[in-house]
Each structure stands twice: as structure tokens, then as C-alpha cells.
Amino acid sequence: MSKYIIEDIKDFDLDHIFDCGQCFRWEKQPDGSYSGTAFNKVVNMQVDSGQLTIDPCTKEEYESIWRTYLDMDRDYGAIKKTLCADDPVMKKAADYGYGIRILNQDLWETIVSFIISQNNNIPRIKGCIERLCQLAGEPVADSFAIPVAEKLASMTEEDLAGVRLGYRSRYLIETAKCVCDKGLPENEEQLLDLCGVGPKVANCILLFGMNKYDSFPIDVWVRRVMHELYGIAENDKKAMTVYAREHFGDLGGFAQQYLFYYIRSITE
């Protein structure tokens, strides 16, 4: 099994990438590397003195999967420079989460993950997704893939009881049936048609699974940032959306991730 090494990486930190709430299936190893499952591959990623090692990984797999997944062709330095000009809050946030990248994740996995995420906390979301994969996912190496829509559409709430999704199990089954019926959603309107997908979850799916980088998902943490650090009324979600549009523009999704990661670090 071969490894693949990318030299001279910049604006890249595995802790920031895998612990900023955008994905739930990467596990930190005792040596500081991360192992995870995506696109039906199980790999380990390790960074050492400016080198990223992916194992196992061929050149072809890097070019066809991980290069895009890790968003390697985007200039995050330029993004941070734009966002942080005249914004001391964003400067602090981006200095803290300097190595964040927005992963290009599988759309169906993103839909499943963020339906489960609602009114839930990150450690429990991870547990739910792992149990769901073990129960209904196809084996991949020594792990399991995200269950395909056809499989979930064929299951009942009782089948899923052991996953402990709570009331979200119905959402997941309904959404799986809808996707089997109509195919994957292609825009926000179609996302909002899915059961268990409202404005916040739709924005996360747009940002993490559909390359819509101007999306600005507002959850309890972002609400907190916008109130405590930008002075916007706590319950005025509309004003927060307008502020993001006017100040962050097309980079709203990147801004949101820096702020989300930062506010969580200073609130604990």
C-alpha cells in the first residue's frame, strides 16, 4: 500500500480542519494524525514539518479524491486577508483557526450528517453517525461507509432504534425515500423540500456538500458570535444574515467557519 506526500502545504492544520464542526467521521490518533472514512476510502492523514502524508493513497486517488476533498487548489491566505481587513474580530478568529479548510464532502453524506446534527451536540452527532454506519453501511476496509439512500429508505424507525437518533430517525427515512424518488437535491429550494431540512441545515449542506461558499449557516454558536462580538441583537437572525451578506459576501462560508471554531474555543 503506497503513501502519497504533498510538500509545502500552507494554511492547513488537521486539528482545525477536522475539529471545526464540518465533518464527523475523522478520529484523532495518539500520534496526532487523523484517520477517517470518506468517498468509500479509509485513510490516515498526518502533517509533519509542512508535509501532508495520506496513507494509503496513490497519485490517482489523490488527484481524483483528496485534492478536491481538502480544497487544495484554493488560496486561503488570500481569503483570510480579504476577510480580516478592517475586521479585528475576524482577525482573531482566523489567527486562531488559521489552518481551516472547507472540505468538499459527499452530498448524501452531508445531508445525512446535518439532519442528524439538528438540536444535537457534536460528540453525540459523531456517535450517532458511527452507529448508523455500523448498522446499515457497506463495509469499507476496517470501517463502514455512510448507508446509501436505498438502504435507509427500506428501513423502519424500529430498525434504527439502536442508533438513538431520537425523533430524527423519521426525518432520515423520509429524506432517503425522497432522494430515491427524485434524486439528490440540486439547489436550496430542493433541499428545503427534504424532511428535517430547514434553513440552517440547508445552508450547511450547501456549504459543505454543494460548493456554495457564500452560505452562512446560523446556529446557536454563530448567533452567539454575531451577538457578543458583532453587537447584533441576539434574536435577530435576519439582521445576522444581512450583516454576513454585506460584510463577508461571497466568502460568507469561510467567515462562518472561522467564527464558529473561534467562539467555541473561547466559550469553554
Q: Which residues bind DNA (CB under 7 A)?
A: 20-22, 114, 117-125, 161, 164-167, 171, 194-202, 204, 217-222, 256-257, 260, 264
Minimum distance from residue 59 beta carbon to DNA (Å): 31
List the strands of the sheet with 34-38, edge to edge.
4-6, 51-55, 41-48, 34-38, 26-28
Closer of 25 and 62 to DNA (Cβ): 25
Closer of 84 and 218 to DNA (Cβ): 218
The reply to whether 200 belongs to the active site is yes
Query: Among 200, 212, 237, 238, which one carries the catalytic annotation?
Result: 200
Strand pairing category for 41-48 and 34-38:
antiparallel
> Residue-wise over 61-94: b if at least 16 C-beta within 10 A, else e?
bbeebbeebbbeeeebeebbebbbeebebbebbb
Answer for the pair 132, 164: CB distance below 8 angstroms, yes or no.
no
Q: Which amino acid is at 218?
A: I
Closer of 97 and 137 to DNA (Cβ): 97
Bridge partner list, 35: 27, 44
Minimum distance from residue 258 beta carbon to DNA (Å): 11
Minimum distance from residue 107 beta carbon to DNA (Å): 16
Closer of 120 and 241 to DNA (Cβ): 120
Residue with cell 467521521: 25
Minimum distance from residue 41 beta carbon to DNA (Å): 22
Minimum distance from residue 246 beta carbon to DNA (Å): 18
Distance CA 193, CA 178 (A): 9
Distance CA 161, CA 168 (A): 11
* Contacts (Cβ under 8 Å, ≥6 apart) of 264: 21, 221
Distance CA 79, CA 197 (A): 29
Closer of 62 and 208 to DNA (Cβ): 208
Active-site residue list = 200
